[in-house]
Structure 1
Amino acid sequence: MEVERSNCSFTTLRLSFQTFSLITYIPLFFFGILCNALALWIFCCKMPKWTETTVFMVNLMVADILVVLTFPFRLYAFLHKWDLGSGLCKALMSSYFVNMYMSIFTITAIAFDRYLAIRHPLKYKSWMSVRKASVTCCIFWILFITVGILRNLESRDYTLTTCFQKDSPEPFNLSPIFIVFGFVLPLLVISFCSGNVIMTLSVKITLDTYKQCSVNKAVKIVIANLVSFIICFLPIHMGYTIRFAAESLKASCYILEKINDFVHVANFLANANCVLDSVVYYFAASEFWHVLFKQKLTLPKYKSSCV
């Protein structure tokens, strides 16, 4: 059994997966850079005043851009024998994981910030500030850079022929920590905050047609944020969980390879979050479009129907 497991072809992608990588990662890279760079330019150069939410969104953009910048190297590793050195591979892998979980925690912070602002509007200003949001982001960076360093110490040396792929049937000891603290707990926080925000907004709907439209739009944005998070990050963490269990139980080579195939597809969904963030966060903000087109923030008092 050990001999069979040692011969598992983890690092050899089938032609179908290579084609899938070409079709998916090139558009992801293009739109990821375009959307996040545009949003970053607007928030950093055109916004007259930063708020707590702006700080979190800019932090999210930076993390997403750093993830997107690893895509060309990921595609190169999938289509070509890795000959760029193990040091660069480790740096890229650390950057990818650090910024993916930075995105998750920043999305969690945005959900909590929104929850405080809507559920406790009177106390929000005393509880939150731009400085506190900035400190929170700095703590996130310190935490995940440290975790990235520990991950490198835990991982084995990469060979010169593979990168962005697990090259051993042995379980990765830090996987349960990444799964529980990097996904399960943030999912619980986001679900709690989103549920409370939706209930609070629903109560505030009145006979005022314009207010109904505004609240309905806000509810749809919150739901879109939650659904996007689940679609992007649930499959990959399910894959990590199943793979860790299978490797710990010494599953057969066939099972491990099938799980590895699932992880590759789930990785695409996780990476698609870098583009979806720009849709469900930045471009859903009315302030973004008002600044982009230099319009005033005044809106008509009455509106006959929702748009």
Structure 2
Amino acid sequence: MTNCSTQDVDTVTQKLDLVFYVPVLVFGLALNITALVVFCQLLRKWTEPSIYMTNLALMDLLLLLQLPFKMHAAYHKWEEDKKLLCSFLESLYFVAMYGSIYTIACIALDRYITINHPFCAKQVRSRKNALIICVFIWFFCIGATSPIYTFREETAGNFTCFHGFSAKGWSTAIIVCLEVFGFLLPATVLVLCSVQSIQTIKASKSTSDKKQAGVRIIYSSLAAFLVPFTPCHIAIFLQYLVRNGIISDCRQQKNIALFIQVSMNIANVTCCLDALCYYFIAKEVRSTKDSLRLSISRGRTTSSSDV
């Protein structure tokens, strides 16, 4: 990587951080805490979707709790003896981000099984299995983010937390695993499950209003995933090209540095999008799921009897 100062970009992103982080922190905490209260106390029956949505709210809260530290790190350098604390906070941030990604993918897969394979769903879906999957997501993300503890530069003096990963953190193996397993794989699961679920809903014998409700739910989950997470993973790949000397033009490097900071801020907005999407559609999911499953089952039974 050539010597190209991005100090002017850092000055701009400091102001952008406040513009993004303060509203996201305030509204995200309020929405996700409210969602947890609803899922844990007010819902009469603990179901598979409510387990996944509770896990999603917990992941979002974990990410939100890192934002004050990120805001502090944007304006203050940390002392050398706080490197371990910084790596711990960085790992929690990525555990929350990728835990949210995998939880959203699991919600889409659970919805797909319910809508497209209603008979199989009775055998595959259960509250116990949903809980096991959520626990696995936590352990998987904690294990997958553990290399972050080795990414901090071994330099003396104060440092900037949440910035300045060493060359090891931008190695080809790390970035390929991040892009493929952290984004492309769950994104593929989400898109394929969503497309097939939409096709099944439109082909069902449900009323027009219920079809539209089901389709809106799926489009909401797609938007809550693709809008925040796609730009930041494109930016990570571009920054990988910069850190490995493939992009050497200083102006392009500055643009990419700005892009990655803005896109990461947009990714944090998912804390609010998740709460809005999954909290406000929870009742709609429950009211439409049974009727859709019954309609689809009747349609398949009719088709079988005609053969």
Regarding TM over 0.5, the answer is yes
Give the structure 2 partner of residue 192 of structure 1: 192
The 5 Å alignment of 1:1-307 reads 5=2, 7-9=3-5, 13-83=9-79, 85-157=82-154, 160-167=158-165, 172-173=170-171, 174-205=174-205, 211-252=207-248, 254=250, 255-286=252-283
Amino acid aligned to 1:283: F
Distance 2:14 2:153 in 1: 25
> The residue matched to 1:62 in structure 2 has which SS?
helix
Shift of 1:150: 2.3
If each structure's helix is expressed as a fraction of its own residues, which one has the higher value? 2
**What letter is aligned with 1:190?**
L
- TM-score (normalised: structure 2): 0.85
Q: CA shift at 1:248, angstroms?
A: 2.2
- Measured against aligned partners, the alpha-carbon deviations of 1:46-101 in whole angstroms (never above 9, x if no partner) come to 22221111111111110000001111111111122334821221111000011100
CA contact (8 A) 1:10 1:168 kept: no
Alignment correspondent of 1:305: none
Aligned partner of residue 104 in structure 2, secondary structure: helix
Q: Is the 8 A contact 1:43 1:288 kept in 2?
A: no
Q: Distance in 2 between matches of 1:28 and 1:75?
A: 12
Distance change >3 Å, CA 131–CA 157, structure 1 → 2: farther
Q: Which amino acid aligns with 1:277?
A: D
**Alignment partners' CA distance in 2, 1:109 and 1:154:** 30
Instruction: Report the aligned-residue RMSD.
Output: 2.3
Q: Given residue 183 of structure 2, which amino acid in structure 1 is its aligned partner? A: F
Q: Equivalent pairs: percent with the same residue?
A: 33
1-structure distance, mates of 2:87, 2:7: 16
Paired amino acid for 2:78: W
Deviations 1:172-216 (A, max 9, x none): 12121011111001111100000011001111255xxxx211210
CA contact (8 A) 1:64 1:100 kept: yes
* Cα drift, residue 259 of structure 1: 1.3
Which amino acid letter does the alignment assign opposite residue 88 of structure 1? L
> In 1, are the aligned partners of 2:20 and 2:265 still within 8 Å (CA)?
yes
**Within 1, Cα distance between the matches of 2:9 and 2:107?**
37
- The CA deviation at 1:157 is 4.5
